[in-house]
Structure 1
Amino acid sequence: MRYCLVEWTPEQLATRADEAIDVLAEAPGHGPAMRDGSRRQLVEHLTMPGFRAVAILGPLADIVGFGYGYLCRPGQRWRNWAAGAMPVVADRRRWLDDAYTVSELQVRPARQGGGLGEAMLRGMLSSAGTRTAVLSTAETAEARSRAWRLYRRMGFRDLRRGLGYPGDPRSFAILGRDLPWRDGSGCTGDRGAWPAVRR
């Protein structure tokens, strides 16, 4: 099956927000009951500085996966939480002062395992223009989690583990990696190159 990796402005993602939330609702830990909260968060994030979104579209221009992030700035809810988890000032400066926050990276379960998540992550971060990239993800058995295997493969390392996040009963980890990419590779998946195409 042929897929297309696209980059979207906040306005473009906003026009397809309901479809993006459909993808998010299929992700573990989310579900239909969290649709309203997920939509409010997405709308809030669209206004963040440096917002960049990517999506994988199927043959009918349907959203197979999407991801987005923004520049990490003081005052943001996630940034404040992450900073609070890093009591050493040098750690906070090292990882958060010039960082890009990966907020969402989701692929429909039936389409996982084919390199789509990697393509989106590379597409999002290839020109982030920051010194680091940071994200949080739910704690789980790494060997059984595609998300964890992806982050490890892409060079993300542990910054903090076993953290609580307000309003979520799960335990979370904060991961980070240096930018830019140093391996010189482009976005690849099981179908070859994934050129970023604007729509």
Structure 2
Amino acid sequence: MSACLVVWTPEQLAIRVDEAIDVLAEAMGCGPAMREGSRRQLIEHLTMPGFRAVAILGPLADIVGFGYGHLCRPGQRWRDWVAGALPVVADRRRWLDDACTVSELQVRPACQGRGLGEAMLRGMLSAAGTRTAVLSMAETADARSRAWQLYRRMGFRDLRRELRYPGDPRAFAILGRDLPWRDGSVGRTGDRGAWPAMRR
């Protein structure tokens, strides 16, 4: 498969938000309620400071993967939840005072295992401009899942495990890594780049 990484502004992602949510729903097996909740959250996040989105486009310019993140600021629901989960003040400052979050990183199941998630993660974080990156992900019984393998390989470490987010029955882990990202950077917003790892 030949694929292309693009970096999108909030306005560019907003135009294709429904297609992006299709990718998320397929990757996560979302039902209608979860899908609509994810759509509302994505639209809300488009206005977050430092919003940065990436997508993998297939040969027909269809979205086969997408991800986005933004700067962490006090008062944001997710950021404040993470702050409460890091009870030591020094840890909160270390990980959250100058941080960005990886909010979503999704690849269609048929396209997984081809390096697309890694390329998007590098594209998101190479120009983040913060000291750290943090994220949360659902705990899984399969420690060898592709998502866990990716984040471990890319230097993310456990900050907390087995946490409960209000309104969600699942357990979550909080992961973090130091920045800057010293390789795999991409160009200006809107640039397209062919990545060797994506050619199969």
* TM-score, scaled to structure 2: 0.91
Q: CA deviation at 1:5?
A: 0.2
Q: Does 1:190 align with 2:187?
A: no
One-letter code of the match for 1:30?
C
Aligned match of 1:158 = 158
Q: Is the 8 A contact 1:53 1:66 kept in 2?
A: yes
CA RMSD of aligned residues (A): 1.5
Q: CA deviation at 1:174?
A: 0.2
Q: Which has the higher strand share?
A: 1
Distance of 1:142 and 1:190 partners within structure 2: 25
Count of equivalent residues: 191
Question: For residues 91 and 189 of structure 1, do their structure 2 counterparts lie closer, same or farther at Cα, with a shift above 3 Å needed?
Answer: farther
Aligned match of 2:191 = none
Distance of 1:107 and 1:32 partners within structure 2: 19
Question: For residues 22 and 191 of structure 1, do their structure 2 counterparts lie closer, same or farther at Cα, with a shift above 3 Å needed?
Answer: closer
Indicate the SS of the match to 1:27.
helix
Distance of 2:97 and 2:130 partners within structure 1: 9
Distance of 2:185 and 2:142 partners within structure 1: 25
Q: Does 1:25 align with 2:25?
A: yes
Q: CA deviation at 1:29?
A: 6.0
Distance of 1:191 and 1:75 partners within structure 2: 38
Q: Is the 8 A contact 2:157 2:177 kept in 1?
A: yes
Render the CA deviation track for 1:84-111: whole Å, top value 9, x for unaligned.
0011000000000100110000000110
Distance of 1:150 and 1:60 partners within structure 2: 27
Q: CA deviation at 1:26?
A: 1.3
Render the CA deviation track for 1:111-133: whole Å, top value 9, x for unaligned.
00000000000000001000000
Q: Is the 8 A contact 1:4 1:58 kept in 2?
A: yes
Select the structure with the greater relative contact order (CA < 8 A; seq sep ≥ 6).
Answer: 2
Question: For residues 79 and 148 of structure 1, do their structure 2 counterparts lie closer, same or farther at Cα, with a shift above 3 Å needed?
Answer: same
One-letter code of the match for 1:165?
Y
Question: For residues 83 and 57 of structure 1, do their structure 2 counterparts lie closer, same or farther at Cα, with a shift above 3 Å needed?
Answer: same
Q: Does 1:64 align with 2:71?
A: no
Show structure 2 runs of 5+ residues with no match: 187-194
Aligned match of 1:195 = none
Aligned match of 1:51 = 51
Render the CA deviation track for 1:33-78: whole Å, top value 9, x for unaligned.
3121111100100000000000000001000000000000000010
Aligned-pair identity in percent equals 83
Q: CA deviation at 1:189?
A: 5.3
Aligned match of 1:197 = none
Aligned match of 1:75 = 75
Q: Is the 8 A contact 1:119 1:189 kept in 2?
A: no
Aligned match of 2:190 = none
